[in-house]
Structure 1
Amino acid sequence: MEMLGLCANCRWMRMIESDRGSVFYQCGKAFEDPRFPKYPRLPVHSCTGYEATTADP
């Protein structure tokens, strides 16, 4: 997951797998704010929309 940068543990990241087995990483933040790309170039090192995921206890 290191190749994803910040996306690896961002609450907005969604992994999309195609019928052919290709994997894409979609930014959920893009659906509410057009400043964010729907499919960002990876790895993402800086992002104003980044929110770390929280682990449930």
Structure 2
Amino acid sequence: MFRVDPKTVTRWAKAGKLSSIRTLGGHRRYRESEVRELLAGMMPTQRRGNDFE
């Protein structure tokens, strides 16, 4: 979704930009709402093709 290396997302979590939950297997899980919020802050506003009439 972010189009960055997975290690970058891990660094963001360690820096506090994104909270993560660790599974028993050691994997990280991120809240969808936080991911969408971070994505919205990163993406420039763009017009979608269906916005034109």
Could you say which structure has the higher helix fraction? 2
| Structure with more contact order per residue of length (Cα contacts < 8 Å, sep ≥ 6) | 1
Q: TM-score, length-normalised on structure 1?
A: 0.31
Decide which structure has the larger Cα Rg and report it: 2
| Larger proportion of strand | 1
* TM-score, structure 2 normalization: 0.32
